[in-house]
Amino acid sequence: MKQFFQKKLLPAVTLSNAESAKRLADTYLKAGLDILEITFRTDATLAAIEAVAQTFPELHIGAGTILNPSQVQSAKDAGARFGLSPGFNEKVVESAHQIDFPFIPGVMTPSEIEQAWQAGCEILKLYPAEIAGGTEYIRSLEGPYLHAGLDLIPMGGVGPGNMRDYLDCASVVAVGGSWLAPKDKIREGDFAGISKVVEASLKTANLS
């Protein structure tokens, strides 16, 4: 699943209609970003995932905020290529594995990290990253876990001002958040503004 995160960014997007999803997906691709997480926070989620999957097959679409097993199947049926959750729910993870659906659970503590690994998860979402302790906390986790293959995507409190610090951590494969798709810009149809945000973030994320 690491191939999905070569650009080191994961936009977390909440949408109210499928048309906005297609315009946003087109904006991301033209700006150079080929991944998008659409969250299960509105009634339009599945329609948005399906519209993007059918129109832009080259985009890696994730379904986010998955809280129950039924959403796992619905997300895959709609065309999502992977799923994420804010926490670790063993039943959700089991459901994802049963249908061969790549899944990234949310973790915050060492115990949750070990539970997720035991359940077969290879990439973990650290959430909420900044409140948990930010980069200092991540580096403390790397002490006992980096040699075991710890791969994290910090989300929650990550943005343009600190994303580079997170990406400098050895265990971080990508960073994500809603700053890559501000609700006000989506609502106003300011996709040119979103493109500028994405282009600037890509430049920052991929500094050598």
Whether the predicted pLDDT of 208 surpasses 70: no
Instruction: Give the pLDDT confidence of 101-133 residue by residue, as tens digits.
Output: 999 999 999 999 999 999 999 999 999 999 999
Query: Any idea which residue has 């048309």 for tokens?
Result: 19
Average per-residue pLDDT in the chain? 97
| CB distance 67 to 89 below 8 Å | yes
pLDDT digits (tens, 9 = 90+) for 136-149: 999 999 999 999 99
- Residue 157, classified by CB atoms within 10 Å of its CB into exposed (0-12), middle (13-18) or buried (19+), is middle
- Residue 62: per-residue pLDDT: 98
The CATH code for residues 2-205 is 3.20.20.70
Select which of 7, 8, 37, 185 is catalytic: 37
Active site residue 125: yes
Cβ-contact 158, 138 below 8 angstroms: no
50 is catalytic: no
pTM over 0.85: yes
From the candidates 76, 125, 130, 185, give the one annotated as an active-site residue. Answer: 125
